[in-house]
Amino acid sequence: MRRVKLDKIDKKILMHLQKDGRITNVDLAKEAGISAPPCLRRVRALEEAGYISSYHAKLDAAAMGYGVIVFAQVKLVSQAENDLKQFIALIESWPVVRECHMLAGDTDFLLKIVAHDWDDYQRFLTEKLTATPNVTSVKSSLCIRTAKEEPGVPVEM
């Protein structure tokens, strides 16, 4: 994967695609101030260079029946590389775990978990997460409200 040096037009393209992944190439080109064919070439180059890793739809959790979001701080007994890989492989097999971040400090992992309701989360917690051999403790924080949720990263112009 070769890196492309980002110019102002590339940054505009990235900013608008991050905001709306379904924007048409014609509209994207208009926003970037170029014509459609070079815009499409630039998008392909940005994909190939790894600046754009995927496109997806953001689903409404509540509409899909997931009324609870929990952030779980997980501590492991061992942080040996093989134990970390086993834990991550297990986390990847659980669809309700939507994000998994390895941290430095007292907590080894921060998980974002969705559940239908609090009882559903408690079942997951007791039957799966705390039942995992290498897990020593889990601290759960119930999300009351999401004040800001922006995808991606800031694109500085």
The CATH code belonging to domain 68-142 is 3.30.70.920
Give CA–CA dist 60/96, Å, rounded: 14
pLDDT tens figures, 116-137: 999 999 999 999 999 999 999 9
Q: Where are the alpha helices (DSSP H) in the chain?
A: 8-19, 25-32, 36-48, 81-92, 118-124
Q: Pseudo-torsion of CA 57, 62, 67, 71, nearest 10°?
A: 30
- Chain segment 85-102, per-residue pLDDT in tens: 999 999 999 999 999 999
Fold of 8-48: Arc Repressor Mutant, subunit A (1.10.10)
- Domain locations along the chain: 8-48, 68-142
Query: What pLDDT score does 153 carry?
Result: 94
- Is there a common fold for 8-48 and 68-142? no
Cβ count near 49 (within 10 Å): 15
- 156 CB contacts (<8 Å, ≥6 apart)? 11
